[in-house]
A and B are shown apart, each in its own frame.
Chain A
Amino acid sequence: MSVLDATVKKVGTDESTGYSSFQLGSFTFTRDEYFAHVTWPKGSHIIEIDRFLRAMVRDIGWGFFYGWIFFDDIFGTTNHYGTVDVFAGSYDKGCKDAGIDFLETFKAEAVSEAFETIAKDWISEGYDPLNAPLETGTPIGPKGKERTDPLLRAFIAAERMLGLEGDTPTRSEEAGQKINRAFADLEMDEPEVECEEGFEGQLHAINLFDHIARSDVTWNPSISAVTRANICCVTSEEHMLPVIHGNDRNEWFIQLTDEIHWNIADKNSGAPRGRIVMKAGDVCAMPADIRHQGFAPKRSMLMVMENGTPDLEKRYASGELKPYPVDFG
């Protein structure tokens, strides 16, 4: 696998829409009022602009996450933790059969810089792709006023546990983070922590639901607690996961409130395998050989258990580890 030493270049600006076009390696990115257009030496692809931007800002904010991020069935990225593949049609049977699939590998920083540059040019004031569709404007139309607030919000990540002294704080009213409208009916109270003299600060508890309910973004997890490499992520999910996630390891979902519908497909071919509907209290593994996309009719709370052990993806890719987590004996 050769890694290209390329960085993003601006290649022109459309005078009628005001949007610029960009090149990274052999890929060119252009947008019009409704769509993003991705071209490469052997082909081209069109993606609805809201979906493209929602996927792109999450891909950057997640640090390309674990494994494959499909913006749709054709275009996406694969994280190799230091380098990133940008692909078109590489995991689509039609493109493969037609011989138009294409993949280039870049340094992760180069892809991150490229996507951030594109996002800044293509996102105008009044539209935030990290918000639920009901809570933001539209990206369609010509270029508007440039946004001045933070475009990207990365993971909120606790080192040990949210809210511990010296660790990442929980979201709060004092910080201007309001309870989301969809969780306004939940009664929130605080855990009662009583430390004996001499042990102040050694016991700790938070209202995790309150922290999740105050998130202003959807499908964008925060790490709440860490046991060695066992990472507890929590997130609020509304509308649809704007990417299709292809796992490079097993991960687990625990539905804390409400429900999410998951479409499951084969990771390599995209062939549908079926669906899973998770309701409050349901637990389900997402095996390492699938891709999945979630749909949440009402904003819900989801807990994701991830194994962050270094190089785990290589052990799954080599076949050393099975692509599913439980041995039933």
Chain B
Amino acid sequence: MAYKTRTGSLDSYDKGLIELNDDLRKYAFSNIFEVAGNAQPFERVAVVQNLEYVAEVVRSEGESPWYAAPHDEFAIVMDGEVTFHFVKLEDDQVPGHEGGAIRLGAKPNGPNMGRVKARRGHQVLLPQGAAYQLVSAKPSVAILQTVDGPETVKKWDEICVLKGEQA
């Protein structure tokens, strides 16, 4: 028997449904393609929050600002293609804040480490000690595994299903 695997994209996705005799805010049901489609390019919108930890969704379109974090982060590309550029930070350039990505004013002046070109289903290490930039020729979607930080955008009321109806 041949199987058809269903994936989603910015252009085509189906949301599921949530039918509960409960406060739906407790479940924070959303869809990453819908969130990315309604966001500004490179707006890092939280779709998961586990105390200080978050997963952010970003629509990569054009060139992002440069970011850095005081810990490893990870990106999973879910639609399109994203090229991640990396620059090595000097010790005194590594951000010292508690967690999450911060936006740098410009490309850091350290050495280029290289780049990773990733497509749907690829997971990319955004290593501690490096600054990174996302570049996409066409609108693409990535999930960022990180810590709640200065760049994390929270708009749960806008992105979550709050009424018991077809999501």
Contact = CB atoms under 8 A, between A and B. Distances in A.
A210 interface: yes
A230 B117 contact: no
Interface stretch (A73-81, A114-122, A125-133, A283-291): A283-291
Interface size class of B (residues with CB under 8 A): 35 or more
Interface residues of A, number: 78
A278 B127 contact: no
Interface in A188-240: 188-196, 198-199, 202-210, 224-230, 232
A70 B34 CA distance: 35
Contact of A196 (B13, B17, B111): B111
Interface string B30-60: 1111100000000000011111010100000
B64 interface: no
B116 A282 contact: no
Contact of A278 (B16, B25, B122): B16
B116 A192 contact: yes
Contact of A254 (B50, B55, B72, B117): B55
A298 interface: yes
A321 B117 CA distance: 40
A208 B160 CA distance: 27
Contacts of A202: 113, 127, 130
A176 interface: no
A183 B120 CA distance: 14
A203 B86 contact: yes
A199 B88 contact: yes
B137 interface: no
Interface stretch (A59-67, A82-90, A256-264): A256-264
Interface of A: 160-162, 164, 181-186, 188-196, 198-199, 202-210, 224-230, 232, 250-252, 254-259, 264, 272-287, 298-299, 303, 305-307, 309, 321, 323-326, 328-329
Given A280-B8, A281-B31, 20 more contacts: A161-B125, A183-B3, A185-B2, A195-B113, A199-B111, A199-B113, A204-B125, A205-B124, A207-B123, A208-B121, A209-B122, A210-B121, A227-B53, A227-B74, A276-B18, A277-B18, A283-B47, A285-B27, A285-B29, A329-B157
List of 4 A-B pairs having minimum Cβ-Cβ separation, nearest first: A209-B121, A281-B8, A274-B20, A324-B26
